[in-house]
Amino acid sequence: MGTIKSANYRKPAYLLILLDILGFGLLYISKSYNMNVVYTGIAVLVLFLVMYTVLVICRMGDKFIMLMAFMLMSFMLMSIVVLLLCRINLDYGFRQIIWILVGGAAFFVAYFIYYNIKIWDRFWYIYFAIGVGLFLFTLVLGTTINGSKNWVSFGPITFQPSEITKIMYIMCLACYYSGAWSKPVLGKLSPKWITLAITYIFVGFLVLQRDWGTILVLFSIYLFMVYVYEKDKKLLFLNIGALGIIGILGYKFLYHIQVRISTWLDPWSDIASKGYQITQSLFAIASGGYFGRGLGNGSPYYIPEVHSDFIFAAICEEMGVFGGVAVILLFFLIAYRCFKISIMASDPYDKAVSFGVTVMFAIQTFIIIGGVTKMIPLTGITLPFVSYGGTSIVISFASLGIVQAISAKTERKGEMTENEDE
């Protein structure tokens, strides 16, 4: 592909730097000239310059993924989110910078590991074992937060093992749907039904953890895989029906689900209690209008969990509907490029993995934005690259690194084919 010319992205880089300077300048004034804001802004600028340098000098496959990963996602969204987090709590903003830095490192680590190892499609049982191990680890040592036991705490540090499990699940499914895993297990068990059993085992663990958002993500990945790869669509409809049954049983026997559904249907009936979170989110989005109230002029403090689940509402309040649409378009571009890489991939396993990662990003974004805007019932999952939290950011960057590695492998095979033809 050749080295990416810095001139191609010079103007966007200047605009992003200007956004950072103006944003943190306004925040500095609104925070009564707190120098910690200045230090945070400098840290963001330094991180951007490092990422921009990497973008210019590296040859690592799809240049648009690199651009979005390190300029758009890592800097534009980082600047917006860090600014909003600093508005809420300066510590949140600084910690987010650290996690983004770790996520950038995870991008490269995942890239080089996936690119240099050629036998990923042979180890479905290892991916399954890691997933089960993480579930058991969470059930034994996990901490219940907001009704879900999906966090593990080590002192001041908490992480979410289910984020890692999603990647293991995708890689496990890819072993079968790429055709690499075709032999029956124990002489009789077809891989088709084993992958189905693995799906429901993972869903069962998530039910025990009450992690309903991740259930929707995993089940969506499986359904899309079945839709694309399975010739017999009966399996697709059977699992859609099973998902509906799980939802009905969950609503009938679990009070937590009943509250979520009733709040979604009519949050205004109990606006001071159960409906407070979603109504405040809707008020914030509505008050922002098309162009927003302006940075520092919003009231994110009134929205519970605004730094994590409801960060999109805060973005819409201060930057308007157009700002929210811009964020959605960035995710659309990420999904589009990842899907294109999946189509262009020459290796069946790489094709299935990149497709699974694409679905994961798209579904997770739809679920949380749909919940915040009352389009669908709210579930507690993070908005990739945006919500406060280390595990989500690191795994999102690592997933993007895997897709980037797939792009680079495809490009390398294309160059080798051209050389052979010559």
Range of the domain at 61: 6-421
In a domain, 282, yes or no: yes
pLDDT average, residue stretch 146-153: 76
Cα–Cα distance between 212 and 204 in angstroms, integer? 11
Distance of CA 18 to the CA centre of its chain: 27
Pick the residue with more confidence: 210 or 7?
210
CB 355 within 8 A of CB 225: yes
Residue 185 is classified by DSSP as B
Among residues 312, 330, 292, 311, which one has the least CA distance to residue 16? 330
Q: What is the pLDDT of residue 354?
A: 94
Q: Put residue 415 in one of left, alpha, beta given phi > 0 → left and psi -120 to 50 → alpha.
A: alpha
The pLDDT tens digits for 364-405 are 999 999 988 888 888 878 888 877 777 888 898 899 889 988
Question: In this predicted structure, which of 282-286, 300-304, 314-318 has the lowest mean pLDDT?
Answer: 300-304
Residue 113 maps to a domain: yes
- CA 223 to each of CA 89, 178, 315, 362, 366: distance values in angstroms, whole numbers, following the listed order: 40, 16, 32, 14, 16
Which DSSP category does 16 fall into? Answer: H
Distances (CA, A) of 224 to 124, 131, 205, 403: 19, 20, 21, 18
pTM score of the predicted model: 0.84
What pLDDT does 308 receive?
A: 75
Which of these, 342, 362, 359, 346, lies nearest to 404 by C-alpha position?
342
Per-residue pLDDT, 153: 77
d(CA 252, CA 243): 14
The average pLDDT across 312-336 equals: 85
Tally the domains of the chain: 1
CB 213 within 8 A of CB 381: yes
Per-residue pLDDT reduced to its tens digit, 85-138 = 666 677 777 777 778 788 888 888 998 999 998 889 888 999 999 999 999 998
In a domain, 1, yes or no: no
Give residue-wise pLDDT tens across range 42-77: 777 777 777 667 666 665 555 566 555 555 555 555
How far apart are alpha carbons 287 and 40 in whole angstroms?
28
Pairwise CA distance, residues 319 & 314, whole Å? 8
Name the β-bridge partners of 189: 185
